[in-house]
Amino acid sequence: MSRRADRRFMGRALELARLNYGLTGDNPSVGCVLVDPLGRIVGEGVTGEGGRPHAEQIALDDAGDRAALATAYVTLEPCRERSTGEDACSKRLIDAGIGRVVCAIADKHPKGAGGFAALRAAGIPVFVGLKQDDADVLYEDFFNLHG
């Protein structure tokens, strides 16, 4: 994927995250876009109202088998752990066979942080910092409360 395509798809993920901003309870509103190796969007998700389900879970459900080898554009680091005991978003991405993850910003929350390490340990390339300035604004309040 080119840098231009990466910027475009991350822009779409940020658009999705803004849709439920302020509606996700204690969880941040995250956007996730899954793009297959041919550059087609195969799944999209935004954190549900009240904070569940998570954006990655929705996008993966949307994509189904088409998620294999896709690039996941996520506005916030996929979680390492879920308070509900469900599979973490990082594990869901690994199990789906995601080929690459592009993320705007690392999560400072103790249950979120560590998702990148899990993805990398599974051999998935992770790139962090694309459109970080936009994500900083989106997650400033969340990090002030939970960071």
CA separation for the pair 49, 95 (Å, rounded): 25
Domains of the chain: 3-146 (3.40.140.10)
Least confident among 5-9, 39-43, 107-111: 107-111
pLDDT greater than 90 at residue 111:
no
Which of the following is catalytic: 44, 56, 77, 81?
A: 56
- Tell me the pLDDT tens digit for each residue of 12-60: 999 999 999 999 998 999 999 999 999 999 999 999 999 999 999 999 9
3-class SS of residue 59: helix
Checking if the pLDDT of 147 tops 80, the result is no
Which uninterrupted H or E stretch holds 105?
none
- State yes or no: is 56 an active-site residue: yes
In the chain, what is the straight-line distance between the N-terminal and C-terminal CA atoms, in Å? 32
Distance of CA 27 to the CA centre of its chain: 13
